[in-house]
Amino acid sequence: MTKVVTAPRVNSEINKLKTAILHRPGKELERLTPQNLSELLFDDIPWVRRIQEEHDNFAKVLQQNEVQVLYLQNLLEEILKEEDVKEKFIEELLQVNGVTSPKINNYLKEFLKEKSSNEIAEIAIAGLALNEIKIKKSMMGLAEYIYQDSYFYIKPLPNLYFIRDPGAMIDGGLMISSMKTAARKPETLILKYIYKYHEIFRKNNIPWWYDDSYPHSIEGGDVLVLSEKVIAVGCSERTTPQAIEQLAHNLFEKGSSIERILVVQIPINRSYMHLDTVFTMVDINRFVFYPGIKNELRVFSIIKEEKGFSIHQEKDLQTALKNTLNLYTIDIIPTGGLNAITSAREQWNDSTNTLAIAPGVIVTYSRNEISNKIMEKEGIKVIPIEGSELSRGRGGPRCMTMPLLRE
């Protein structure tokens, strides 16, 4: 089994990244068509071979910088080698995909039980279509007749290479997301099984702070671990205030080191679906920010009390960061500079979605040339990667990385 020498723990957004989970884009992207793009949350169809080359280069950059790269699909394959885990997983996989016909359900269970752990892991991510199995005509329901070859019993997960969203390590525990959209809900089943059965989590007795059993949505792209005691959470298109309150309760009551949550309310807009699409931390006192939403932000603090917590509104984001992180100065670096058109164009291509692999060292897309130059002038070391195809899914280097361990 894959091993991580030190127990997973993330107490910083910028400290040296030691171990991270990635998902290499695969066959699931070949399922995208002009007809299902909107349902599967894509704006365009990526070129699969090129997107894999770009992702492989991204992983290589991390490894060259001494980051241990783990692949989600490999972790899933490893736990599915245990027959009882495999059987439970198949049952829940069919359930989360809405297979309700008893005849079809039983047929698919038997069909999948014959598959190897590698094959099950691939099917869970790439999907299983009607034309890939031999269903007798007598078993077919109305959906099979209507949708025919485009009908998926197990739906593909093309967004999974944005592995940040299904979960996040906070302190020494794991937050498993409750995803906003139906297209992404099965992603958390995979992470939940890895959490329950892989020794990385099991042997280290990793607590959980949230999971998909809660009704209110929260996603990992909205969670930034600013320090040992402070996290920022975006109240966004994908994360609700009710979920943030529940997360606060769980963190405060279940023994985490977190004492304050900065809640950053951003516009409800697909362009800014998560906090990390408009705001990321790049150094001890430096942050990258999309200035186009400056006048629309509201910031609140949820503060741990002896019993429960209190909530109050902050003056603005910069003041809140200085006060909560005990910093004398804060530098907010605007992506795209002061040119509103450049800033908006580069934000769309994830200029703000930077991944810090050490203090003042970040991975970004090379296509965001103006933002990258501005950050370099500010003394940030920028490691650019190609992302012409990766960016078609609406996410950047931070979205593609789930840190398990930082120094």
Amino acid residing at 132: E
Which residues are within 8 A (CB) of 391 and not within 5 positions of it... i.e. 6 or more apart?
349, 350, 365, 367
Residue 303, strand partner residues: 260, 310
Task: Specify whether 235 is catalytic.
Answer: no
Indicate which residue of 75, 258, 262, 399 is catalytic.
Answer: 399
Please enumerate, as own/partner, the contacts of 362-370 that have beta carbons within 8 Å and a separation of 24 or more.
362/282, 362/397, 363/58, 363/61, 363/62, 363/397, 364/396, 364/397, 365/390, 365/391, 365/396, 365/397, 367/391, 368/335, 370/336, 370/337, 370/339, 370/342, 370/346
Alpha carbons 347 and 363: distance in angstroms, whole number:
15
- Are residues 265 and 326 in contact, defined by beta-carbon separation less than 8 angstroms? no
Nearest to 240 by CA among 214, 271, 279, 270: 214
In this structure, the chain runs to a length of 407
Q: How far apart are the first and last CA of the chain?
A: 23
Half-sphere exposure of 90 toward its Cβ, with a 13 Å CA cutoff? Answer: 23
Q: Which helix (H) or strand (E) holds 85?
A: helix 83-96
Catalytic residue numbers read 399
